[in-house]
Amino acid sequence: MSKKQAPALPRTAIIDIGSNTVRLVVYEGIASLATPLFNEKVHCALARGLADTRRLNPDGRDSAMAALARFVRLARAMRVGRIRALATAAVREAEDGGSFVARIERRFHIPVRVLSGTEEARFSAFGLLASVPDADGLLGDLGGGSLELVALDRGQIRRSASLMLGHLVLAERTDGSRKRAKDVIERELAALSWLRRLKGRSLYVTGGAWRAIAHILLGQTKHPLHIIDGYEIAADEVSRIAAILSDLSRETLLKIEKISPRRAETLSFAALVLRALIEKGRPDNVVFSGYGIREGAFLSALPERPGKERDLLVEGAAAIARRMGRFTLDGEEICHWLDPLFRSLPRGRSGRERRLRLVVCYLSDVARFDHPDYRAEHALARVLRLPLGGLSHADRAYAALAVFVRYNGMIDSAPAKPYAGLLDDERLHGANVLGLALRLAYALSGGAPGLLARTRLKIAGDALILKLPRARAAYAGETVDRRLRSLARALELEPKLR
């Protein structure tokens, strides 16, 4: 077994009984975190009316029971090893929450864990940290019933709070008055003095309503990559757009692409919370995440929750390589061969850049089975859109452009141009160099394992030196010479074959 390959784990079903939706997600091992086997939600609005009645929405209870009947049947048909059902703010706060849980357990013979506010916040943090292990700043997870806040210090959970500021509950608490909602939000956030530590750091946000705002931001800014996870934008710009959204009527919101009628009902209240959080904490940037409570619940259900020694991004890339690659040339083998070269380049020594190079090396054969005339463009599109967590949009552009060049794409060509704009000049040059170095690696090895280790690539003075073994017939040739020259030219070095 490859050292990057996770041991086999039984399938796990997570049923999230939320304040707004009930969802089933089925995972098969850690590598499936970003690509679950099954993911479906049903809108139930259990929290509707909760602020007034202190009870769950009767229609929502019926809808939830119908959804659970389907989900439990599906999970058992999928032969999951464990069904883990969680209930969050609405069930936790409702007077009839306990009887609703008992009804579920009697009918479906599954235990339901009602999370405390602290547990809900920590599960959300576990989910985020699975994709961003060194997250530093504040996590905000907005649901229909509550807002979970978690202070993070370079990947460590410090403090947390759970506030009844979910977009459904907030709208009802204030009878739909946005002015009153602002006052309620300000009062509840004012009690959290530790939010001041967010200043100049990152605000990580998750939750369906805030992801809807991310879709609007992507459109408004004409961003070239329409993926929510890892989307980073200046906090001031988010605050500006949130201020506009918070003043729009439901009818106006419905005119915005991808905003559903249900989402439009309370989106302005979600925008109010987001803007208030930015104004209170003064973060430098906002990072939208596709990871949260369900991913955290899955990870916490494992025999041992993955620590920093388990890199889920690298494991996910390795899993893709096993499905899509040709032979058994390992990404770590390629990356190790490239290390001497990149240690001589700006940024090349950093652990973060080395980790990203390793991911690229694992993905460097993704277009092997495509038509040769389209491999470069297909590789570019595929790597940009791969369901891997933990990649910023700049990281995605770097990885995709490197693999694009590996397949003979030109870094300054039309297909590359929209994504090249996501990188500064130094990183764009680095992506080009990595792609050209990968072309050389595949010319030397043919994609077969064990051959690269017999050669050495390094920079010495003003020369790029490729050292071959004495029995060089299997390595030397026109293609190797040409690709070595291309790489040396990009580095403004003299190619030397020894």
Residues 105 and 251 grouped into a single domain: no
Per-residue confidence band for 327, with pLDDT thresholds at 50, 70 and 90: low
Task: Assess if residue 338 is contained within a domain.
Answer: yes
Q: Which positions ≥6 away from 173 have C-beta within 8 Å?
A: 51, 164, 181, 184
pLDDT at residue 319, as a whole number: 83
Exposure b/e, 132-160, CB count within 10 A at least 16 = b:
bbebebbbbbbbbbbbbbbbbeeeebeeb
* Residue 114, number of CB atoms within 10 A of its CB: 18
If DSSP codes are grouped into helix, strand and coil, which group holds residue 241? Answer: helix
DSSP state of 425: H
DSSP state of 263: H
Helices (H), 288-424: 293-300, 312-324, 331-342, 351-363, 375-385, 393-406, 417-420
Task: Assess if residue 5 is contained within a domain.
Answer: no
Task: Assess if residue 307 is contained within a domain.
Answer: no
pLDDT at residue 4, as a whole number: 45
Per-residue confidence band for 17, with pLDDT thresholds at 50, 70 and 90: very high
pLDDT tens for residues 183-235? 999 999 999 999 999 999 999 999 999 999 999 999 999 999 999 999 999 99
Task: Assess if residue 3 is contained within a domain.
Answer: no
| Domain end position, chosen among 81, 114, 147 | 114
Give 280: exposed, middle or buried? Use CB within 10 Å, 0-12, 13-18, 19+.
Answer: middle
Mean pLDDT of 299-320: 74
What pTM was computed for the model? Answer: 0.90
Is 90 exceeded by the pLDDT of residue 126?
Answer: yes
Mean pLDDT of 174-188: 96
Residues 280 and 316 grouped into a single domain: no
Report the interhelical angle of 208-220 vs 261-281 (nearest 10°). Answer: 80
Task: Assess if residue 306 is contained within a domain.
Answer: no
Q: For 152, phi and psi rounded to 5 degrees?
A: -120, 135
Average per-residue pLDDT for the chain: 92
Exposure b/e, 314-326, CB count within 10 A at least 16 = b:
bbbbbbbbeeebe
Task: Assess if residue 1 is contained within a domain.
Answer: no
pLDDT at residue 470, as a whole number: 81
For residue 205, which of 255, 242, 244, 256 has the smallest C-alpha distance?
A: 242
HEC readout, 77-132: HCCCCEEEEEECHHHHHCCCHHHHHHHHHHHHCCCEEECCHHHHHHHHHHHHHHHC
Give 362: exposed, middle or buried? Use CB within 10 Å, 0-12, 13-18, 19+.
Answer: buried
Is 60 exceeded by the pLDDT of residue 2?
Answer: no
Residues 342 and 423 grouped into a single domain: yes
- Four-point Cα dihedral 392, 398, 404, 405, nearest 10: -170
Determine the Cα–Cα distance for residues 296 and 312; give it in Å rounded to an integer: 13
Residues 110 and 122 grouped into a single domain: no
Determine the Cα–Cα distance for residues 217 and 223; give it in Å rounded to an integer: 8
Token couple for 270: 């979600």
Residues 159 and 234 grouped into a single domain: yes
Residues 165 and 263 grouped into a single domain: yes
For residue 446, which of 274, 325, 279 has the smallest C-alpha distance?
A: 325
pLDDT at residue 481, as a whole number: 93
Domain that holds residue 25: 12-114
Determine the Cα–Cα distance for residues 275 and 209; give it in Å rounded to an integer: 13
Of 277 and 307, more confident? 277
- What is the side-by-side strand order in the sheet with 137-142? 156-163, 147-153, 137-142, 202-206, 285-288, 231-234
Task: Residue 358: give its domain's CATH number.
Answer: 1.10.3210.10
- 465 strand-pairing partners: 458, 496
Residues 126 and 256 grouped into a single domain: yes
Could you give the C-alpha distances from 456 to 96, 249, 315, 375, in angstroms and in order? Answer: 69, 64, 26, 28
The lowest-confidence range among 99-113, 284-298, 306-320 is 306-320
The lowest-confidence range among 175-179, 308-312, 319-323, 492-496 is 308-312
Task: Assess if residue 94 is contained within a domain.
Answer: yes
Residues 220 and 275 grouped into a single domain: yes
Task: Residue 152: give its domain's CATH number.
Answer: 3.30.420.150
Task: Residue 86: give its domain's CATH number.
Answer: 3.30.420.40
Is 60 exceeded by the pLDDT of residue 137?
Answer: yes
Determine the Cα–Cα distance for residues 495 and 419; give it in Å rounded to an integer: 30
Per-residue confidence band for 306, with pLDDT thresholds at 50, 70 and 90: low
pLDDT at residue 31, as a whole number: 64
pLDDT at residue 436, as a whole number: 97
Residues 123 and 110 grouped into a single domain: no
Residue type present at position 384: L
| Domain end position, chosen among 79, 114, 149 | 114
Cβ atoms of 148 and 277 within 8 Å: the answer is no
Residues 110 and 186 grouped into a single domain: no
pLDDT tens for residues 98-117? 999 999 999 999 999 999 99
Residues 257 and 176 grouped into a single domain: yes
Is 60 exceeded by the pLDDT of residue 6?
Answer: no
The lowest-confidence range among 206-210, 327-331, 407-411 is 327-331
Residues 235 and 380 grouped into a single domain: no
Mean pLDDT of 268-288: 97
Determine the Cα–Cα distance for residues 461 and 494; give it in Å rounded to an integer: 9
pLDDT at residue 447, as a whole number: 86
Number of domains in the chain: 3
Task: Assess if residue 431 is contained within a domain.
Answer: yes
